[in-house]
Chain A
């Protein structure tokens, strides 16, 4: 089979799949608000047959049966809560993706926050312990007669920074205002 033929087969199959997808059942609502609620409910509720698929995405026959029921109940004017409770009475909490807050689900609702607090406390204690006197990091007393040497060293560092600024013209230290002015005048002269 030539490459072109294969390509045509693939394209045809893709087209065919869109026709199949178009044949799924569509629920018509006169009230756009109810249509919105239907879309919301079928997305929030889980298909009991499937492990992780909501009703809206499921083509399982039983998901279809539940969607029919939701559709009828919405048309009959039942509230979202009534519909969810109706299904919960038959399929349990599994039907909803939001488990209710009760002792057996405390771990999923509050567990992450408990671990966050424990972790935060541990980090806090760790950092605090490093700042106490007996920690290995200590401040060094500078003797009085070394102060002059330190001052000289600082000046040297400053001077080398100025040199750096001249070579990398995109890094201009605000403190070196004179230097900046010189730089600008030098550039305008060049023009």
Chain B
């Protein structure tokens, strides 16, 4: 056996070990329940949905105008109750338009949720069969989508929105220009 061959055989397990370590280490700390949205960069899906607050009114994707947040909520979702007070606060600042998507809910339950906790939404779409939710790739509430002025999906946040999430993640995605200007101003 050649000397160099022998060396290679001794080194190979070590190289494999390093490769496995790197591979597994990069996976550590990743949340496996967070999935990447498949819809980034795509326009919001076509829909025709009634409004939660006025069941006889139907609107379509053409009635939605970004830049805005689309917040997916439901009365059966405990984290949505937790998130709601911050949405109320956010909407009072009048800097952002928030659309609500009442996902897989009963109308009475959805109405009770809004009547009890207040309405931070410009419009609330009522998605009783969950079809629009599936078209958006929603897999759990609450989820919040950022759409830009062309009605394209820029970002999807899974989990509750709070001050930190809004300022560090959603706001920069929603107003990238303002963010750049701020950074330049800081310099």
Contacts and interface: CB of A to CB of B under 8 A. Distances in A.
A92 B140 contact: no
Interface in B131-186: 131, 133-140
A154 to B, nearest CB: 39
A92 B35 contact: yes
Contacts of A51: 32-33
A118 B12 CA distance: 10
12 contacts: A48-B137, A48-B139, A49-B140, A61-B130, A65-B104, A65-B134, A90-B38, A90-B39, A92-B35, A92-B137, A94-B35, A125-B9
A62 B131 contact: no
Secondary structure of the B contact surface, majority rule? loop
Secondary structure of the A contact surface, majority rule? helix
B1 interface: yes
A118 B8 CA distance: 13
Contacts of B60: none
B36 interface: yes
B129 interface: yes
Contacts of B133: 62, 65
A129 B33 CA distance: 49
Contacts of A142: none
A36 B187 CA distance: 64
A64 interface: yes
A13 interface: no
Interface residues of A, number: 21
A122 B130 CA distance: 55
Contacts of B39: 90
B132 to A, nearest CB: 10
B32 A48 contact: no
A68 interface: yes
Interface string B1-35: 10000000100100000000001000000001101
A92 B36 contact: yes
Contacts of B138: 62
Contact of A90 (B1, B104, B129, B135): B135
B131 A69 contact: yes
Contacts of A65: 104, 129-131, 133-134
A61 B77 CA distance: 11
A89 interface: yes
